[in-house]
Structure formats: C-alpha cells, structure tokens
Amino acid sequence: MPFHSLGLDPSLVRAATEKGYLAPTAIQVEAIPAILQGRDLLGAARTGSGKTAAFSLPLLQRLAAAGRQAPRRLQVLVLVPTRELAAQVGESMRSLAQHLPVPVRIAVAFGGVSINPQMMALRGGADIMVATPGRLLDLLDHRALRLSSVSTLVLDEADRLFDLGFAEELGRILALLPERRQNLLFSATFPPAIQSLAERLLRDPVRVEVEGEPAGEPPAIQQRAIEVDAGRRTQLLRQLVKGSGWTRVLVFVATKHGAEVVADKLRRAGVEAEPFHGVLSQGKRTQVLADFKASRVQVVVATDLAARGIDVAQLPVVVNYDLPRSAVDYVHRIGRTGRAGETGVAVSFVSADSEAHFRLIEKRQGLNVPRERVAGFEPVEAPPPAPAGEPGTGGIKGKRPSKKDKLRALQAGAGTPKPER
C-alpha cells in the first residue's frame, strides 16, 4: 500500500519518500488514518516499528490543515523517556515537516544540558514540543511555555517513562493539560502501571499491535547464543568484530566501568570502539552517536540506560556482552537491530554462571536459542554449585545482586557485597 492512499498530504508523502520510506510499515497503515480522524490510540509497538512516523505524519498534517496561528500556540506535546529519543523524534519530525505548505515549529527539550537555549528557542512559540518530563516541568516553572492549548498528547515508550521513574512528573503534567484532547500512547510492554494509565487516559482508543516485524515476514532478528568463559569474552568479541565483517556493532555491558574497559581493550586491539554511558557529557554522547552513524566508530559499548532510544538506521549487530537483567531489557536491546524490515543479528555471550539466567530470559520470552561454540573459545568453566538450601533452583543464579540484595547482605553482616564490574 502506498503512503498517499492513507490520506496524507503530498508534501508529507514527498518528505517520507526522501527519507527512504517507500511504503508505510504495519503500524503506520493502521495508526495514520485513525490519528487523522482524531481518535485516541493505544500502540503496542517497540522502537523499530516505524512508530515515530506513525504519529508524526498525521499530527503534522492536522497542524498544517489548521493553518497558521498567531500567536503560535503549543498544540502537540510528545513526552519521551530519554534525551536521545527526544532528539531523534524532534529530528525525524522536522525532516518530515520540511515540505509542508505551512511552516510548523518543533521544539525539543531534555535535561542534562543548559536550559537557556531551550528557553530561547521557545520565544515566539512552538506548535509541537518534544520533551522529557523533568525538563518540561522546568520550562513550565520558568514560564517558558503553557500547556493550555495542547490538543494532542503523545506518550512515547510509556513503559520506559515509568521504568525511569517519571510517573510523578507525568501526573503533574497531565494535571496541567486541557481535559479535552487526543491521547496517543505507545509502549513496547504493558505492565500493570501502563495498563492502568492507558485505562485512565484513553477514550475508546484504536488499538494497534505490532510485535516485531510486519505480519507474514520472518522475524528480521536472528538470535544467537555463544557459550564462552566470562574471562574470554573480550577476546571473542575482538575476533568476531574483526573476522565476521560486522560493520557497526552495539555491545551491551552491565556497568559504566565495563563499558570503559571493553572499549579500551578493543581500541588497543585496533578496533574503533567508544564507550557510551550516563557519566559522559551530553556533548561526548552526541559526538559518539554521530561518529557511529557516520561509520567513524565501528563498535559502541553501552549500558542499558544510555543506549535506550538509540536509533541508528542499519545497525546490523547487537552483542549482549553482559546479559540484560530482565527479559524486557533483552527485548529492548535486541530491538536496536533489525529495524524497519532490515535483518539484524543479536548475539548473547553465555558463560557457565549466566547460563541459568539466560534460560530464564528464554523462558519468559518463549524462546529457544541454540547454543553455539566458537573454535578456540570453547568454555572450560563449570557452572557454580547451587547455593546451599536451594538445590536446583536453576533460575536466576547469573543475576547480579540488586540494591536491595546488597543492603540485605550488608545488614546480615555478610561482608562486602560483590562489587559491580
């Protein structure tokens, strides 16, 4: 089905085509007409489904159709969990809006950088605001904008907004919005908090569900699990990066320190690698992402939090150097590859002491990923013995201790908890 048959303005179809979007994705086919009609929408979709354009195109069209407003009033508010996602959504909306007959002004705001330029950018008003909740509240405190004329609210990656502790900020923002408005909620997962938010927020919503790839096509992400001893993972990674022809690799590790160490070792082996984590300045993070996109950097070694929302077109390989803590994180990580119909590979390193944890992830996701071994890296370590009193629990032995676990260990006088890597 071509884009123009969805009722979109030719100027938007042209912009989409110039971005290389030749046909709408599954979520776009369903969501665009519903949003154009002003309906509320519940989108079960992960990053990679094309959800940004699914809400941007119809909202831009409705703004353009409403014509030029004087003074400019904020009409669309898009809330996102991370600065990276805010920047990406803003960028994507601007490029889709570029040929509209009526200019649409899109403001982007996120924390971690000075608020002043963001306040300056709001002088003269904006039609669309893409923001993280905390910074939006700061801007409201500074009276840099008002929400009283917002007619559409978009919650993007709503589950992440909650994971990152934005529930309270969200409540405060919702209280400032006009009651009558269109609400669009996108989320990859639907834990109880998101279900109840959806029930409170949405009126007779159109439900759009796209889990992974468009129906009928085989899953675009090939999942692999390689058995390797924990101490040899960096060497194996180096060999795979150098020997497999992987052009652009996103490697996930559990800690900032791990990101630094692994990137450093790869660099010393002659691989262009950079760490990517929350302690780096915003400027450095932007630079690493730009270098990654421009292929000046081959491997980015990231923590989950920093990597959230990274949208790099053509990201063929994701490596779980450290396994994710939860099955949900696993889905988010591997969702970084295989976007919009492209094929991707997600490789997980599984060692003797993380095997049980990987089995748990597989069970939660209904997966069965065959174990592979790479010649020269066959594991020799045996799985750790089951803890006394818990014979054969087999479940979460590979799990790192949570904050609560560590506190309990300390309180029980069990000595220093295992330090984070």
Q: Give the residues lining the site for ligand AMP (CB under 6 A).
A: 21, 24-25, 28, 47-53, 311, 313, 339-340
| C-alpha to C-alpha distance for 144 and 329, rounded to whole angstroms | 36
| C-alpha to C-alpha distance for 40 and 184, rounded to whole angstroms | 6
CA distances to 32, 230, 346 from 378, rounded to whole Å, are 50, 11, 20
- CB nearer ligand AMP, residue 2 or residue 165: 2
Least CB distance to ligand AMP at residue 108 (A): 16
What count of other Cβ atoms lies within 10 Å of the Cβ of residue 179?
A: 5
The label of the residue with tokens 């090939």 reads 222
Least CB distance to ligand AMP at residue 370 (A): 28
- CB nearer ligand AMP, residue 48 or residue 324: 48
- CB nearer ligand AMP, residue 84 or residue 304: 84
The closest alpha carbon to 273, from 316, 223, 309, 238, belongs to: 238
Least CB distance to ligand AMP at residue 51 (A): 4
- CB nearer ligand AMP, residue 139 or residue 154: 154
Q: Which residues make Cβ contacts (< 8 Å) with residue 305, sequence separation at least 6?
A: 164, 277, 278
Least CB distance to ligand AMP at residue 78 (A): 12
**Cα dihedral 252→258→259→262 (10° resolution):** -90
Q: What phi and psi values does residue 359 have, to the nearest 5 degrees?
A: -60, -40
- CB nearer ligand AMP, residue 12 or residue 236: 12
Helix-strand-coil split of the chain, %, nearest 5: 40, 15, 45
- CB nearer ligand AMP, residue 8 or residue 263: 8
Assign 93 to helix, strand or coil.
helix
Least CB distance to ligand AMP at residue 346 (A): 16
